[in-house]
Amino acid sequence: MRNFWIIVGHTYTKKLLTKTFLVTTAITLLFVLFFMNMERIFTMFEQDAEQAATHIIVVDETDELIEPLRDQLQPFTERIILAGEAETLEEARQSVEAGDYDAALRISYDQQGQLEGEYFSDSLTQTFAPNQLQQALQHVKETRLTVELGLSPVELERIYQPISFELTTISETAKSESELMQAQMIVYVLLFVIYFTVLLFGNMIATEVVTEKSSRVMEILVSTVSPITQMFGKIVGIGLLALTQYGLLFLVGAVSLMMQADGSSLAGAFLSEELPLDLLGYAILFFLLGYFLYATLSATLGSIVSRVEDVNQVLGPVNFLVIGAFFLAMFGLNAPESTVVTVASFIPFFTPMLMFLRVGMLPVPLWEVILALVILLGTIAVLAAIGGRIFKGGVLMYGKSSALKDLKKAFQLSKQER
Q: Parallel, antiparallel, or unpaired for β 103-109 and 115-121?
A: antiparallel
241 close to 12: Cβ distance less than 8 angstroms = yes
* Helix locations, 18-88, DSSP H: 19-36, 38-51, 66-72
Question: Would you list the DSSP string of 406-417?
Answer: HHHHHHHHHHHT
Q: What is the DSSP letter of 54?
A: E
Span 77-89, pLDDT tens digits: 778 888 888 888 8
The identity of residue 386, as a single letter, is: I
- Which range, 2-11, 248-257, 376-385, has the best average confidence (pLDDT)? 376-385
Residue with the bigger pLDDT between 221 and 117: it is 117
CB atoms within 10 A of CB 92: 24
SS3 365: coil
pLDDT at 368: 92
Strands 54-60 and 115-121: unpaired
Mean pLDDT of the chain, nearest integer: 78
Q: How confident is the model at residue 363 (pLDDT cuts 50, 70, 90)?
A: confident
- Average pLDDT in the 241-254 region? 84
Check if the beta carbon of residue 36 is closer than 8 Å to that of residue 256.
Answer: yes
Choice among 53-57, 140-144, 218-222, 354-358 with the minimum mean pLDDT = 218-222
> Do 400 and 409 contact (CB within 8 A), yes or no?
no
- The pLDDT, as a whole number, for residue 139 is 86
Region of poorest pLDDT, from 37-46, 135-144, 339-348, 377-386: 37-46
Q: Is the pLDDT assigned to residue 227 strictly greater than 70?
A: no
Is the model's pLDDT at 134 over the cut of 70? Answer: yes
Beta bridge partners of 60: 107
pLDDT at 260 over 80: no
Q: What pLDDT is recorded for position 403?
A: 53
Q: Are 239 and 146 in contact (CB under 8 A)?
A: no
Confidence of residue 264 (pLDDT cuts 50, 70, 90): very low
Is the pLDDT at 370 greater than 90? The verdict is yes
Compute CA distances 89 → 34, 61, 107, 190, 400, whole Å.
45, 9, 10, 57, 77
Query: Measured at the alpha carbon of residue 206, what is the angle toward residues 204 and 207, in degrees to the nearest 5?
Result: 60
* Mean pLDDT, residues 4-25: 83
pLDDT greater than 60 at residue 242: yes
Q: Considering just the CA atoms, what is the radius of gyration of the chain in Å?
A: 32
Of residues 35 and 396, more confidence is placed in 35
Domain spans in the chain, listed from the N-terminal domain onward: 54-160, 175-416
> What are the C-alpha distances in Å from 259 to residues 3, 189, 246, 262, 383?
45, 19, 20, 8, 44
Q: What is the DSSP string of 90-133?
A: HHHHHHHHTTS-SEEEEEEE-TTS-EEEEEEES-SS--HHHHHH
3-state SS of 167-236 is CCCCCCCCCCHHHHHHHHHHHHHHHHHHHHHHHHHHHHHHHHHHHHHHCCHHHHHHHHCCHHHHHHHHHH
Average the pLDDT over each of 4-13, 38-47, 312-321 and give the range with the smallest value: 38-47
Which has the closest alpha carbon to 227: 12, 8, 394?
394
- Find the mean pLDDT for residues 189-199: 84
Highest mean pLDDT among 51-55, 96-100, 252-256, 400-404 belongs to: 96-100
The predicted pLDDT at position 3 comes to 72
Cα gap 167→188, rounded to integer Å: 22
Range in 44-53, 215-224, 232-241, 262-271 the model is least confident about: 262-271
Higher pLDDT, residue 316 or 370: 370
Q: How far apart are CA 178 and CA 188, in angstroms?
A: 15
At the top level of CATH, the class of 54-160 is alpha beta
Q: What is the pLDDT of residues 346-359, one digit of tens each?
A: 999 999 989 988 88
Q: What angle do CA 339, 343, 345 make, to 5 degrees?
A: 120
Whether 375 has a pLDDT exceeding 90, the answer reads: yes
Distance CA 249, CA 25 (A): 9
Q: Which residue has the higher pLDDT, 51 or 310?
A: 310
Write the single-letter amino acid at 113: G
Q: Is the predicted pLDDT of residue 269 greater than 50, yes or no?
A: no
pTM, 2 dp: 0.65
